[in-house]
Structure 1
Amino acid sequence: MSSASNSPVLETARRAREAAAVLAPLSREARDRALLAVADALVARTAEIVDANIVDVEKARAAGTAESVVDRLTLTPERVAAIASDVRDVVALPDPVGEVVRGSTLPNGLELRQVRVPLGVVGIIYEARPNVTVDAAVLCLKSGNAVLLRGSSSAYASNTALVNVLRDAVAGAGLPADAVQLVPGESRDSVKELMTARGLVDVLIPRGGASLIRTVVQESTVPVIETGTGNCHVYVDEHADLDTAVRILVNAKAQRPSVCNAAETVLVHEAVAGEFLPMALAALGEAGVTVHGDERWQAAAQGGEEQGATVVPATEEDWETEYLSYDIAAAVVPSLDAAVQHIRRWSSGHTEAIVTRDQGAARAFTARVDSAAVMVNASTRFTDGGQFGFGAEIGISTQKLHARGPMGLPELTSTKYVVTGDGHVRP
């Protein structure tokens, strides 16, 4: 990349790189002090934030945006207070920077330590959820990284107000304000520039729908950590407790269907299908879920809504769909092997669950299913940094390099080797 470019996006990235060099050696106390200042500033400037958010919400409603999306966009005083509380929770988390991952004294007397260090400059590309602006900035600051925030144009006023608050608080606490920056521009061109700022940006993390993530992965020259899309499966084994299976299935699908760890497909062993399908249809129907089922599920419905959930014929497309709605694909399979084969073909590698009382089946499933998280007798909804005890997450990685699964603070670091000798030279 040419250093002579006068692009506002690249200039922002250069300032972030300078800020990252200042952040890296700072103590935990200095970074935590800045985060506490951020929490206080969010509360003190709530009215300013909410007023800016009203502009975005009114524009979204005028454009006919779905109310579910408008709700994710909306900030109220109560939500801002909750965000500030979350910031204080992050302050209490262990500091990953400087942690010794491993160390030893070599036979020649050299002392070897592998220690955690910040990634450097982290770019976040995300959709209309202004809470992500604060979440991402705070997690990056806690782990010693500078952050470049590129939210969607639909939340531009909200994000601008939030970043102004963050920068003022960070600077007031003695850290460089450029540790937190909003990427300038509302057009796709600014996104493209960020994705190709190799050498200035160390890593990009996309957060949003499948289309956004695919675009960033395919078009970036900056390294990307792929997150998010969840075509998650629940497999009901022939040895399952069926009441437990129904409870897990309904929770996995309907507790919050618009998130990446919600179940999108249920597979049922044919040995228990006769008993389980009517139970599942009744429970899914009560939860308002539409089933996109194979022939066995259609036959079990016997007229659809009168027997519980509405059942429509499943198509090939259903097996690969992340609905993010009250819909689920459903099939009966002849064996655990068939369930594993189906999952390996269609899964996005996020989370899969088996319900079974047979430990052999559980071991076979967990060994053969290649996803970031595999649940045994538990809902897919537990794949979450908070639920895993990490305290917070920047996203859920579905790839295998660097990080996999919920990404907490340690996943926002890399490592370096520190080797200490006493005049050692290599013979």
Structure 2
Amino acid sequence: MSSITPYKIAVPDEQLQQLRQKLEQTNFPDELDASGWDMGVPLHEIKRLAAVWRDEFNWRAQESKLNETFKQVNVRVGVDGFGDLDIHAVHHKSGNSRAIPLLFIHGWPGSFLEATKLIPLLTKSDGDGPVFDVVAPSLPNFGFSQGVKKRGFGLAQYAETIHKVMIALGYDEYGKPVIQGGDWGSMIARTIAQFYSQHTQAIHLNFIPVTPPYPWRSPYQFIKSLISVPFSAKDRGFIARSVGYLTRGNAYMKQQETRPQTLGYGLHDSPIGLLAWIYDKMHSWSDDYPWTDEEILTWVSVYYFSTAGPMASTRIYYEASAPKRADDHMSDGGSQVDPQEKVDLKYMSLAQVLGARAPQSVRFAVAQFREELVMWPMAWYRSIGNVVQEKEYDHGGHFAAWEVPELLAADLKEFLGREGPAFGAVADRDGY
């Protein structure tokens, strides 16, 4: 049985005191002479941020700003096989009775914070596009949502949880929500399209991993991609960038998907270890974004003070890479996964999501920003389903909602606007 209660962020004083004590007792490693970012976060950067975190950063001020600016709720939903979970969410309404419901799904090392720059741009009418009501949950195991202790909580369960949050908030009663996702949010959005396609018909993605159309796996798609869009210098650059990430830039992912518990001791016990682990990605995955100390430390503090603890967020990598299980189970909404594969959809792996095509009724917009981690020729993205809008931007990185919120908001409005390819996908609610 679902329930909804108001939520205010309120980190106990004891946790703030413990953080300060740990920061005061930090013992830093050394580093090689003339070290830059090539080996990780430079020592002088971590020492400076540690001092700011200890002596200047005011978590209570950030907490108050979030509580005063954004309406938040706790939504209790039942997840099949896992019981009831308490899910924290920002639920910010526009006040427009015709607003389009938008579900924003974050990833790692992001959080609901990423939506806070988008919300003012999407919930206010500017006379030039639709208006949205925004729901930005903290995923289970992230932020101020409950953690999951039972094994097997994978992409299907994340999708089920977020889908049920939207139903509990009443959005299934009067319209189909639009979904916006990057990082894991992209994968969860595509999983929702597999399981609950009748509940959403428009998905906007700014991170679009796909399985390349290898000639031995998808000969028709491979030949089609070569004929329709011959590889340009730009496409070859995209492929080279992606291969570079997959060969040298994803060691963090291998650790988190294979041995998250081992990593977790350092992330949970050491605020400096957590700071270095997350800030390394904030810096290297963005497009020269000028991160302020306040931004960095607020992002990391959300992980440090998270309900389930900072290591819980890494388990999504492990569970999503879990081997498939033989079964003929089919979930409501109908899956596009090959029916010849004996796959229990409750345990869909990341590889299966990447290889699955969404139902034709779901319309996709894909936005590719210049410094994204994985980029492929645009034609390859059409394998995910009915892609009706494709855009490339000459700046912006992995954290588009935070780095370039104006661009992302404009892309969303174009997608759903009166002249957009997904206009009318949300049950006659044009949001004007």
Larger CA Rg, structure 1 vs 2: 1
Q: Greater relative contact order (Cα 8 A, min sep 6): structure 1 or 2?
A: 2
TM-score of Structure 1 vs Structure 2, range by shorter chain = under 0.3
User: Which structure's residues are more often strand, by fraction?
Assistant: 1
Please report the TM-score for the alignment, with normalisation by the length of structure 1: 0.25
